[in-house]
Structure 1
Amino acid sequence: MASNVPAPEGVQIHEPPTAGAWGEWNPTEDSVRPVRGKHRVARQHGGLARSSTVLGVGLFAAVGAGGIATAQDRPQVAISLPDLGSLPTLLSGGDTGTASAVRDAAAAGTAGRTGIIPQQDDQRADPGEALRNRILQQAETQQDAAVAQAVAQSAREAQEAAGQEAKAKREEALRQAEEVKTKAEAKAAQEAKAAQEAQAAEAEKAKAGQEQAAPEQGTAPTSGKYSLPTSAYTLTSHYGVSGSMWSSGRHTGLDFAAPSGTPVKAVGTGKVISAGWSGAYGYRIVLQLEDGTEIWYCHLSSMSVTSGSVGAGETIGRVGATGNVTGSHLHLEVRKGGSTVNPLTWLTSKGLNV
């Protein structure tokens, strides 16, 4: 049955052979499957349903892709494919989905004839490969982040360990310094104590030796009434010597230089009328004899008798260096009627060998 529909531009339609040649062939619903699995409702366009047109074009493309079309072992039929650019015009009515399906089928047929497979973009060509690349990239990023985190954690741990070690070293150094200081202080205290004890022992020994030697070195008083004021001495400044050291411009007594602590004795029987601090004389004892003569013992380090009667040769104090002095000695003055006399002359007159 001949169609009255005119052929689109660029499409050649060859009349099929007569029924007598290979029989009439009409596609039926059972023999032809819908394009892309969709049933389309035929719409009349110029006396021919659009679905039939699409089916015919798709069939031509499929036959072209296979290279050979057979129908019940009949001779090959020459097929001319339409210009792909004119398919949208052929498939008028705004059905772009159908046009796209026809274009894809035609492209597949062309590739089958030429042996060339159309190139597609990467995502359409291999979505699995793109997904695998994204997964690998994501895994690599996570691995880099884990490595960076591990390095940072190691650095923090190393820094904390170094800080703790430095702190421990500082504390140990402070502890050792404190221990050394404590030992040094204890040692210094022991040495000072030992030095004080040695000095005290030496002083006590010297004192004991002086007291023991005093009776032996002392001159026995004449007639048993007089005695030398001290023992183990050296005469230094005599009576009447002038100098700026004395307020009167001259020395008013006799100096017996002796070690500090040397016993001082009463030169005769009498009584102590004064004992205490006396300015430039330092610690002083005034002994008044029976005839009224006063004997002044000056610069004493200590006083054994401060009042009362004493006998000749009795210890009343000890040699010192108090008051206005330049060294340890006994300054002895003899006063009669309020005036000083030469002590050396007075002692000699009493029979004492000074």
Structure 2
Amino acid sequence: MSLAWKAWLGQCLVISALAADQPAGLSLRWITLDPGQPFMVRVECAGLDARLARPEWTLKEWQKLMPVHADQAEMAVDVNLPPMAGQYEWRESRVVFTPLFPLQPEVRYRAVFRPEALPGGGPAGAKVISAIHRLEKPVPGAATRVIHVSPEAASLPENTLKFYLHFSAPMSGGGIYQHVRLRKEGGEVVHEPFLEIDQEMWNHGMTRLTLFIDPGRIKQGLAPRADLGTALQEGRQYTLEIDADWPDAKGQPLKTGHQKTFKVGPPDRGCPEPKDWTFQAPAAGSREALKVLFDEALDEALALRLLSIVSQQGAKIEGSASLANEGREWRFTPKEPWLAGTHQLEVPDILEDLAGNSVGRPFEVDVFTSVQPPGKSATERLSFEVRE
């Protein structure tokens, strides 16, 4: 698991302990980080002995020292069952455990600290301690619904790389592939079209899920594509189905299921070309939106996160951005009125289109070859004029 995943959803179980020579002071407690999202929790105990600060500790050693279990009635049972999946790290005087999945309602969780697993067997007289946490079943509120699915276009390239599922409230994680499927126009379900990974790609608030088509069924020459064919086939129609029984973070089903039907066009092998983009510049003194028309539809999340505007003086202009025209148009509304002069749109070369082709390199390349397209830098800058 990557270190970047430790920040996922902000769900950490933080465990520390009083100084090792004070075994009687050991204690653990669970803390809810956000009252609005009770599945975001941590467990704290302060000031672990410095002997724990060892980068060579293995996952098995950490789990022996500080296992966290779900739904176990007796501590003795925990010994023979695997701990919760997650990532351990040393952070100053604390050990941090980040669970792989959010906590679920009506499930009892327990963190256990075992001093005997410390180097040298731990301090004399130290006892095993535990802290239990249980999320109560929340009071039902307004039902969560699917806001939209992107890409929004009615026709997508055969090598479309991913979908974004947007929800009106936080969702539950784990088992997502039970609730989504890709169906052909005749009703047949596409066999294993998605990249099914343990590290589900949710945003911090659990309101947007990134659903990848298996790249092995997109790139030419790979075994999954040779054995199963492409997940999407040019000329056919498909429906992405989202089940209504998918539970949200409160354990409640969605208000309704959702379907996105689309046709499949030819594959897109080319990179986005910023030089072909056109600008519709606003007037100075106004807060009208700048409009940038792309040469093709771009990845929604990346376009909204990566594109930015800088002033003639080189300062970043604050404002809000959105996409329109099925991902072919970027609109930026400044926080303050536009000033007259030359401005620049900064375009990082990791910006992608719907098929995963970035400004810097195409998705369909030989993975053993270093590709450095000439004339392209880490960030391209496109100038436009704001006039009186």
Q: TM-score, normalised by structure 1?
A: 0.15
Q: Which has the higher helix share?
A: 1
Q: Which has the higher strand share?
A: 2
Larger CA Rg, structure 1 vs 2 = 1
